[in-house]
Chains A and B, each alone.
Chain A
Amino acid sequence: MELYSLTISEARSLLDRREITAKELVNSITARIDTVEDRIKSFVTVTKEHAFHASEEAQKKIGKETKMLLGIPFAIKDNICTKDILTTCSSKILFNLMPLYESTVTSRLKEEGYILIGKANMDEFAMGSSTENSGFHITRNPWDIERSPGGSSGGPAAAVSADECIAALGSDTGGSIRQPSAFCGVVGLKPTYGRISRYGLIAFASSLDQIGPITKDVRDSAILMNIISGHDPLDSTSAPIQVPDFTSILGKDIKGLKIGVPKEYFIKGIDSEVEILVKDAIRQLELIGAIPIEVSLPHTDYAISAYYIIATSEASSNLARYDGMKYGLRTEGKDLIDTYMKTRAYGFGAEVKRRIMLGTYALSAGYYEAYYKKAQQVRTLIKEDFDRVFKKVDIIVTPTTPTPPFKLGEKIEDPLQMYLSDIFTISVNLAGVPAISIPCGFTKNDLPVGLQIIGKHFDEETILKVAYAYEQSTEWHKRKPNL
């Protein structure tokens, strides 16, 4: 077995037993990047020199300090600020941004001794579902390089899948961790809104954005949740709620656990292979003790409309700060307003411009009530759907995506078709509940399919417990793309 294919827990025990060194692990990962990165292009920036140096420092501490991530290489999505290391959000408007401070999540990974191997590619400002909207280059799916890795965290998910890192952090506003994780055959968790500090996450839609782990198995997801969760005085939207030990729940049985299967998620338009594999997964959960119950989330059909009004409205406000004055790109114009307009016209890509305009329109005088307020009211109805169902069941299971990974170029000309590919993930963000995507099989063409497990507010424990139980009873997570 090659070192680059290790999980966090495997690497930890080999490092601690002195069977491998941190330097060997980093060398293995960088050699892997040299071999596959030309085809996959997961990264905006590879921090090789930094990683070599960090691995030497880490090796000195191994055996002396008990730190969970000491010597372990990570990819970090390029919208998470890393001090003095280029952070671009995959946007030309931030082509040269060297953050002045470290995000809380990467500070916490640092405290545990992690090694940054690179900043991973994404749809510009996390707007997109295919990573084709990166301002720099597209990322390809390791399972089929003609296909999209999903988005917006396509870079981190592809990097984990292609073994270009041991684990990664992404962000999820409408499915941006779960959909690429499903497309790349890895494990991606979007925690409860408020579970994790967003200090240092470059904002897209502030009432929806959440950071979470992308990993090779469920145990690693729990390990990272232990490290990055919890209240942070620097983010007033992080909740002052106790963080449990997420790893201690792994391995507990799921007998008698009630799993809701929402009928609105098994409808016409869903790919037949996806439907079969997800139904097989539900049967597998039943086999190991869970009780499936059909439930209804009646407002599911309205989620995309509500989401794209709320997310674009918030984005139009958040992205007003990119004016070419304090950082990033400036394109000089004949006066101040001309400079603003040229800077933003040149610095932003097509999808970002489209969303800024949609959001500006929805918030503009005369339309606010009809669009933004209406969408927020529908959001309430969607949240109440979940509240109602969670009185009857412990978790909800659905497909993560309606189709297997789609071809690059297939949806990029039609923004509405691209938005519709998020149909199964966005309700979760509107309701603020946590959800994980785990591999649940492969299509005849050997493309991965994801199972989404949704939990109650602040109950990541139950979804991790179920995900782990399912994973332990299957072999899907052990399959690797042929690169």
Chain B
Amino acid sequence: MKISREEIEHIALLSRLYLSEEEKELYGSQLSRILDYMEKLNELDTKDVEPTSHVLPLCNVMRDDILRPSIPKENALANAPDHTDKFYRVPKIIE
């Protein structure tokens, strides 16, 4: 299955990845080859097979709503590329 250049550009945008022209070319052909290999799954009839999302028999794990200490604000901001004394500073979102 050949992935078109438009598709690669669309996937890159959804993935929030800027790609160079060479990368578009390279990933296009590599992903096409990998997806060709994955076509193998269509040999199997899975009409009545339930999907497995994970193997544990667990769902809706609940806990009591107990107050626990939070991470202090200055620590929470310490790893940010840019911040004020109270907030993360991010590029302008609304024009």
Question: Residues of A at under 8 Å CB distance from B?
Answer: 96-98, 100-101, 193-194, 206-207, 233, 236-237, 239, 299, 301-302, 304-306, 308-309, 316, 320, 323-330, 332-333, 335-342, 344-345, 348, 353-354, 356-358, 360-361, 364, 371, 373-381, 383, 415-416, 419, 431-432, 457
Contacts and interface: CB of A to CB of B under 8 A. Distances in A.
B55 to A, nearest CB: 3
A336 B54 CA distance: 35
Contact of B49 (A308, A358, A380, A431): A380
A327 B90 CA distance: 12
Main SS at interface, chain A: helix
B11 A308 contact: no
Given A354-B31, A431-B55, A302 B14 contact: no
Contacts of A416: 30, 33-34, 37
B67 interface: no
A474 to B, nearest CB: 32
Interface in B8-64: 8, 11-19, 23, 27, 30-31, 33-35, 37-38, 40-44, 46, 49-56, 58, 61, 63
Interface of B: 3, 7-8, 11-19, 23, 27, 30-31, 33-35, 37-38, 40-44, 46, 49-56, 58, 61, 63, 71, 75-76, 78-82, 88, 90-93
Specify which of B17, B42, B52, B56 lies most central, judged by the most chain A CB atoms within 10 Å of its CB.
B52
Contacts of B92: 335-336
Given A325-B88, A357-B17, A374-B46, A415 B34 contact: yes
A251 B55 CA distance: 31
B14 A378 contact: no
Contacts of A431: 55
Given A345-B19, A357-B17, A378 B55 contact: no
Given A233-B63, A324-B81, A415-B30, A193 B54 contact: yes
Nearest to B95: A335
B73 to A, nearest CB: 11
Contacts of B46: 374, 377-378, 381
Given A193-B56, A237-B56, A342-B18, A329 B41 contact: no
A364 B43 CA distance: 22
A364 B14 contact: yes
A326 B81 CA distance: 7
Given A302-B44, A306-B41, A415-B34, A316 B82 contact: no
Main SS at interface, chain B: loop
Given A101-B71, A233-B63, A325-B88, 13 more contacts: A100-B75, A207-B55, A237-B58, A305-B37, A336-B90, A336-B91, A345-B18, A357-B8, A378-B49, A381-B49, A383-B55, A415-B30, A432-B54
A242 B79 CA distance: 38
A335 B18 CA distance: 13
Contacts of A337: 16
Contacts of A97: 79
Given A357-B15, A379-B51, A383-B55, A305 B40 contact: yes
Given A98-B79, A335-B91, A380 B51 contact: yes
B46 to A, nearest CB: 4
Contacts of B11: 357, 360-361, 364
B19 A432 contact: no
Contact of B15 (A237, A325, A356): A356
A356 B15 CA distance: 7
Specify which of B7, B37, B38, B76 lies most central, judged by the most chain A CB atoms within 10 Å of its CB.
B38
Contacts of A358: 31, 34-35
Contacts of A309: 38, 41
Contact of A344 (B8, B17, B35): B17
B32 to A, nearest CB: 11
A207 B19 CA distance: 29
Given A325-B90, A358-B34, A361-B31, A381 B79 contact: no
A416 B55 CA distance: 26
6 contacts: A239-B58, A302-B44, A354-B31, A358-B34, A377-B50, A381-B44
Nearest to B42: A374
A377 B52 CA distance: 6
A371 B36 CA distance: 12
Contacts of A345: 17-19
Contacts of A375: 41
Given A330-B82, A336-B90, A356 B51 contact: no
B6 to A, nearest CB: 13
Contacts of B50: 377, 380
A339 B30 CA distance: 26
A254 B31 CA distance: 47
B81 A330 contact: yes
